[in-house]
Amino acid sequence: MEFPVQLPQPFLDKAFRLGVRPEDIREQFVRGGGKGGQKINKTSSCVLLFHAPTGIEVRCQKHREQSKNRLSAYKLLLLKIEAQRLGKQSDIAKKLHKIKAQKKRRSRRAKKKMLDDKKRRGELKEARRNVAL
């Protein structure tokens, strides 16, 4: 299985596990758009990949060089295929779940701190009221 770009070993393993073949991927180089000025608008550095069996399409225009965009597009395509096939077991879903759990813990901690502060403030006010009588 030889891809047109030098993919790192973890991505080659992922492609093998998912059964993604280079023949199934159609690539196209198109002109980009957006920020970057004339250079972006004149050159075809944007890479468009289409995986026929799954129908997943990826467009990458992160870098100025076509070769870097091509590598990034292949990596992104493999990650999207994995997410579609494995669902919650994919690497992306696991990372998202981990971040969500961390934020949930943080918010729980923040809520506890807020309630403690409220209680302390209430005790302070109560102490002041008793002195005035």
Same domain, 55 and 30: yes
26 and 72 share a domain?
yes
Let me know whether 77 and 40 are in one domain: yes
Percent of the chain with pLDDT over 70: 96
| One domain, residues 19 and 41 | yes
Asked if 110 and 80 count as a contact pair (C-beta separation under 8 A), the reply is no
Please report, as a single letter, which amino acid is at residue 33. Answer: G
Whether the predicted pLDDT of 133 surpasses 60 = no
Its domain, for residue 70, covers 9-86
Q: 15 lies in a domain? A: yes
- Identify the pLDDT of residue 35: 76
Instruction: Tell me whether strands 46-51 and 25-30 are parallel, antiparallel or unpaired.
Output: antiparallel
Spatial separation of the C-alpha atoms in residues 38 and 117, rounded to whole Å: 56
Share of the chain above pLDDT 90, in %: 47
Give domain status of residue 79, yes or no.
yes
* Cα–Cα dist 133/124, whole Å: 15
The reply to whether 95 and 130 lie within a common domain is: yes
Chain segment 65-119, per-residue pLDDT in tens: 899 999 999 999 998 998 888 888 888 888 889 999 888 877 888 889 999 999 9
Inform me whether the pLDDT recorded for 22 exceeds 60: yes
Q: Please report whether residue 3 resides in a domain.
A: no
